[in-house]
Chain A
Amino acid sequence: MSTSSVSKGCFVFKPSSKKRRILSPTADYFSQGKNDSEDSDLRFATCQLLWKQINSETEKIQEELNKQLFDNLIRFLRQSHSEFQTKKTEWMCRMKSSEIPTAALVLGVNVTDHEVTFKSLSEVLQDNVTPYVISLQAKECPGIKHLLQKLMGQLMDCCVDLDSSEEEECVNISQKKIRCSMASLSKWYESVTKKTGSETPSKKRTSSSRHWQSPPIVVIFKDMESFTTKVLQDFIIISSQHIHEFPLVLIFGIATSPMIIHRLLPHSVSSLLCIELFQSLSCKEHLATVIDKLLLTTQFPFKLSEKVLQVLINIFLYHDFSVQNFIKGFQLSIVEHFYSQPLSVLCCQLLEAKKRVNSLPHNQCENIRSLPSFRRYVESQVSEKQIALLTEDSFLKEVTQTLLEDLHIYHENYFTVLRCLHVFTTSLPKYPLGKQIRELHCACLGKRVWETEEYESAVQLLRMLAKDELVAILQKCAEIFISSSGKQFSNTVEKLEEFLARFQNLEAETNEVQDVSVSSQKELQKKTDLYHLQKTLLALKESKRSKKLTKFEMLRFEVVDFIDSLVRSYLAPAEMQTLNEVVYFNTANTLREHLNAAPRIALHTALNNPYCYLKNQTLKSDVGCISNTAPDICIVYKLHLECGRLINLVDWLEAFSTVVTAVEGTDPDSVATDQVDEIIHARFIRAVSELELLGFIKPSKQKTDHVARLTWGGC
């Protein structure tokens, strides 16, 4: 069946039911189209498992980060609710309280992350506060009617959820398409609360133990900014009339600033709201936590190389501030890694990996041998061992196991020392090595950090730290080392504690030093002859010039040197580690191409320099020029760049035919001057309409046979 037709644009293809596969396994596609499909099933399973773990971890992080916010929100709901409870009886208060309690939730500009937050928010509320949680989006509510419909619809669903025995009745109601108004809403609320109130005690316990009595109706406006003013105003005014009949609480999701409420709503309306502001965690902190929990840990075997991490962080910082997208990029890199690297089968927990090494087939061993890092390792060995490594699979496997273990230990040490170094560098002015740990991490991953200028200046600054600062930092470091799982740091901890003790002892010694200087001062004041005075002054000067380092300074140098030695021994770049290719994903380019593509540049390149794509020698040309044998569209494009706002089609056509006829080698004389070859004409028409499709030109009515250019600039 063809998919081109002049009468319709949609074509559905349904395979006959017997031919249809029950569920096409994704794993098939993982192994398909790859000639080196070693262990692809196992790799895919590992990949899926890893992703599942990481995903659940991110969800957990999100939950923890939101906990504070949600607690505050629930407290707010409870408070407004209790007011409703108490005021219900008092007629006077009821008159006054036409204000709707409202929570303004400032979530930041990373709109893409909001969805997750709202989802977990409504879950939390439904679990703890009230079954009646309604989320509304601007695009669903173009008018107040739609809004109320949506609201009622969702409430009916809530009702079904709450009590399945009443399902039928509720369905009846919704089927009748009741007139959606606030009056019917309050009636419905009354009936529902009465029902739950009059139920048998046993039932009541199950249903309303989680919820409060007469639970509030919570309406969440997910994207407050995109709602039309009219709809919001109407809704608020109407519901404020009914606020005494049922407890209503609004939650506004705000991406910009709380000011928007006052900009959207006139004073008369906003005065009907009793707004309390809630601020969600900033996306930067969220990212920091995610990086901390996902990347700077040995919990997950998969690692990102420096460039990949840079790409992801740059997309975050310069494009969207979206943690969700960061995680998506992380997911993509996992998939890419497992898809493209056959040895990624070893990218799992250490014990499992060791087992897998034993069962590696021969071609995988060859894969190991061809890894650049492994080759480096082999070259550093003695010749007999080299031969053994390159020829005996069993020996190779043994070595691989130890190397994997080394890699694991390297990571353990790396992260501990990294955190320790981070404690040091964050206290420095100007943050030569970056404020965030991720910057430090990138710096260390990429190259030998101790060879960089930034590190040098950082060390210089460290040598100038004050004592109390230094002590505080050392204490933090000691804590980090103690909490780390690595056992090899017991010496380090001891050393650090020794340093701390020596700093304590310094107190007394400094007093002595001061005594000495005071005594020398006193000496000067003594009566003496000129010769002696000169002598003492000279001596003083001398001592000042080659001023002996105080004990504190000596100690400080020692501490800095110690940290420096730690950095040098543990923060070696990951690329230097043998077998790092197994766990590090480093094709940053693919990631950027897929996540942060530049379609305009691709188009521009294809049009300007077709040689980039079509590797034909005749297309090779200098920068800015184009060969006349290039595809028609390239020539037409190049010609149109020479024109201003309007392009005369005749001129264009003639210019085009000049170029094309020259290529064909026909004698220009033989072609009649005003008669262009039909085929060339047709080719020109095609190229021009293609340019129109691409959005470079459009037809213009300004002058006959002219088109208007839509892009600016040229060559």
Chain B
Amino acid sequence: MSQLELKRNKVLEARFVADEDVLKHISDNGGVKVRKDKAQLALNVKRFVKTLENISDDDEAQEILKEQNYVAVLGACAEDSLRNGPSAGGGEIYSFQTPKRSGKMAELASELAQTPGKNVTFESSQYPEKPASTPQSSKKYSASNKAQLKSKNNEFVSTTPYRLRKRLTAPSLRSDSESDYSASCSEEEEEDKDHKETSDVILDRKTPSKTRAAPASKKTPAKKLKEEMTSNLVEEYFEAHSSSKVLTSDRTLQKLQKRKLDQQTLLVLLNKAPPAFTAELKELNQQHESLFSKWMLQLHLGFSIVLYGLGSKRDLLEKFRTSLLQDSVHLVVNGFFPSITVRSILNSITEEVLDHVGTFRSPLDQLDLIMKRFKEDSSLELYLLIHNLDSKMLRGDKSQQILAQLASLPNIHLIASIDHINAPLMWDQAKQSLYNWLWYETTTFSPYLEETSYENSLLVQQSGSLALSSLTHVLHSLTPNARGIFRLLAQYHLENKDNPSYPGLSFQDFYQRCREAFLVNSDLTLRAQLTEFRDHKLIRTKRGTDGVEYLLIPVDNGTLTDFLEKEDEDM
């Protein structure tokens, strides 16, 4: 509020002040970190304006009183919950994206590398990515795009300008680096170098930027500009998304000569990595474990429990299960399992818990039966543990509805964990009241090993050892002829591996080859065989432009070579 008083004049001048502006002003003034959400800021302005104009309308006065109360409680929240510490301002989390300078990350990296904690001597020239980033950032700087200028009031620039300047004038700049950057428009990628030189607005200022003094001198006008700017965050959002161009460097992992790791090696490597903060993590876990009996009490009183916070909560729930639920019927659901469905959850309840034989027309019928059985027999009790209730497979509206209805049964006790930042959006008021949640923050910081192991991770080689083993397994169960058919296709595939426009083997050709090798006698047998392959995802068919059916093996060449070698050994 004190800041607001300072800004009194501005508020009066501007006539209309967006909440975001106020927020910006306050955060610019740098004093207190903005803690309360924007709503409150808006309220502050509102209240302030009202007192200025001396509006004495009854209802509004009433409203102010109420809002004050609300804010007072929010404020109390800030004071007494150390956990949601001062850095967790709503405005920070929920603000829109502002365009960033692309080299920022590398800068921050070296910045972080330098932060106290361990004494490390830092010389920018020794970092390969360092020079690559600096000219780019200064260039962007001078482009004086308003939005970009505004975005610069992040800690790094504003708190340590000296260091920045020092680094910017560092002698070790390599000017060839901007060729690493290009727009992400796919058609532009090929000829990015010359294209960039000519067309990009930013590059107009490119040459002066190399004088390195430019960014430092730009600082002052930028400050002034900031005040004039109608910094509408919404506009910024669309600005950031208006062009499909995003400037990032063109480097790829292939250039790094980094082989993709498969899941197993990843695990092995991670085990080698030294665990950090074991004592602190243990302490955190102990805090959570002390709540176990309270959870049980609350589960019994008809509440459901949801755990949130950073870190895998799987181990915690497992521990809860093994320590308290050993003597009761319980169902553990791995929500992160990629092919989990509500159906399978309901099936395990009806088939294994209720020992019901028979099928159901729809999940709703199944749910009806479960609800009926549980209502009739009050001695039936079921604990439902769901890891990752917010997983892709369970987050659908229908699934959540069914789970919520399960949870609303008095003798089904649900305890679940959520991880996704937007997980609470799954539930509307009706579902929430069915679930009857009690929230518990259990930040564990433990790695999401199990949860991410199924995931189609970006960097993990997908069809690695798993595909090879499945290939051999499937083919071992087939007739020799069928194996021959697959070998034929695989060999042809490998022969053409260097041909980028290889469409696959056409069915007719394939049939011809198979006939010649005495593997099939009619195209019907071949088709039947291919269907089997397709069911096991060993091959894929694709219709070419000429309408001919082409056959492909969706396994990468390395695995295929391995497979063929192994087959040869076996023979």
Contact = CB atoms under 8 A, between A and B. Distances in A.
Q: Do A and B come from one complex?
A: yes
A663 B117 contact: yes
Contact of A713 (B98, B241, B335): B98
Contacts of B401: 139
A600 B421 contact: yes
B327 A24 contact: yes
Interface in A645-699: 645-656, 658-659, 661-663, 665, 668-669, 673-676, 678-679, 681-686, 688-690, 692-696, 699
A324 B434 CA distance: 11
A616 interface: yes
Interface in A566-604: 588-589, 592-604
A22 B97 CA distance: 57
B66 A317 contact: yes
Interface residues of B, number: 162
A654 B327 contact: no
Contacts of B347: 10
Contacts, number: 458
Q: What 7 pairs between A and B have smallest CB-CB spacing?
A: A9-B337, A597-B439, A662-B113, A712-B97, A655-B109, A33-B293, A682-B269
Interface stretch (A267-275, A352-360, A514-522, A631-639): A631-639
A430 interface: yes
Contacts of B424: 599-600
Contacts of B211: none
Interface in A591-640: 592-610, 612-616, 618-619, 621-629, 631, 633, 635, 638-640
B87 A682 contact: no
A20 B339 CA distance: 32
Contacts of B104: 642-643
A22 B379 contact: yes
A656 B109 contact: yes
Q: Which of B83, B108, B277 has the largest number of chain A CB atoms within 10 A?
A: B108
A393 interface: no
B303 interface: yes
Nearest to A324: B433
B15 interface: no
Contacts of B328: 15, 20-21, 24
B84 A605 contact: yes
Interface stretch (B453-461, B542-550, B558-566): B453-461
Contact of A704 (B113, B252, B291, B300): B252
Chain A interface size range? 35 or more
A186 interface: no
B459 A688 contact: yes
A210 interface: no
Nearest to A645: B246
Interface stretch (B4-12, B120-128, B525-533): B120-128
Contacts of A339: 294, 297
A237 to B, nearest CB: 25
Contacts of A693: 336, 419-420, 448, 451-452, 455
Nearest to A109: B429
5 contacts: A33-B290, A644-B248, A650-B256, A669-B126, A682-B269
Contacts of A103: none
A668 B129 CA distance: 12
Contacts of A203: none
B300 A26 contact: yes
B73 A3 contact: no
B187 to A, nearest CB: 12
Contacts of B70: 314, 317-318
Given A332-B303, A650-B252, A682-B270, A694 B292 contact: no
Contact of A602 (B247, B309, B457): B309
A695 B418 CA distance: 12
Interface string B250-276: 011101111001000110011011001
A430 B58 contact: yes
Given A651-B248, A713-B95, A685 B429 contact: no
Given A33-B293, A694-B310, A713-B98, 17 more contacts: A8-B337, A20-B327, A29-B296, A32-B293, A430-B56, A435-B62, A599-B441, A601-B84, A603-B310, A605-B87, A612-B82, A615-B283, A654-B109, A686-B449, A695-B422, A711-B97, A713-B97
Contacts of A201: none
Contact of A644 (B246, B447, B456): B246
A372 interface: no
B445 A688 contact: no
Contact of A624 (B155, B189, B332): B155
A14 interface: yes
B309 to A, nearest CB: 5
Contacts of A606: 309-311, 443, 445
A33 B324 CA distance: 12
A592 B74 CA distance: 10
B108 A655 contact: yes
A285 interface: no
Contacts of A623: 33, 86-87, 155
A307 B352 contact: no
A325 B249 CA distance: 52
B329 interface: yes
Contacts of A335: 297-298, 301
Nearest to B39: A318
Given A605-B83, A616-B277, A715 B332 contact: no
A162 B182 CA distance: 78
A674 B450 CA distance: 30
B386 to A, nearest CB: 10
B276 A638 contact: no
A650 B253 contact: yes
A642 B105 contact: yes
B344 interface: yes
A695 B301 contact: no
A393 to B, nearest CB: 30
B249 A594 contact: no
B316 interface: no
Contacts of A8: 337, 344
Interface string B363-398: 010000000000000010100000000000000000
A23 interface: yes
A639 B100 CA distance: 12
- Most chain B CB within 10 A, of A434, A619, A704, is at A704
Nearest to A19: B327
Q: Which of A140, A431, A644, A649 has the most CB of B within 10 A?
A: A644
B401 to A, nearest CB: 6
A650 B184 contact: no
B506 interface: no
A5 B443 CA distance: 25
Contacts of A690: 447-448, 452
B66 to A, nearest CB: 7
Task: Give the most central of B128, B244, B309, B433: most A CB within 10 Å.
Answer: B433
Nearest to B292: A33
A4 interface: yes
Contacts of B87: 604-605, 608-609, 623-624
A111 B455 contact: no
B80 interface: yes
Contacts of B331: 10-13
A679 B273 CA distance: 6
A614 B280 contact: yes
B42 to A, nearest CB: 14
B112 A640 contact: no
B102 interface: yes
A678 B432 CA distance: 45
A310 interface: yes
B213 interface: no
Nearest to B181: A648
Given A20-B328, A322-B429, A599-B424, A712 B445 contact: no
Nearest to B345: A10
Interface in B441-496: 441, 443, 445, 447-452, 454-460
A185 B436 CA distance: 38
A621 B111 CA distance: 13
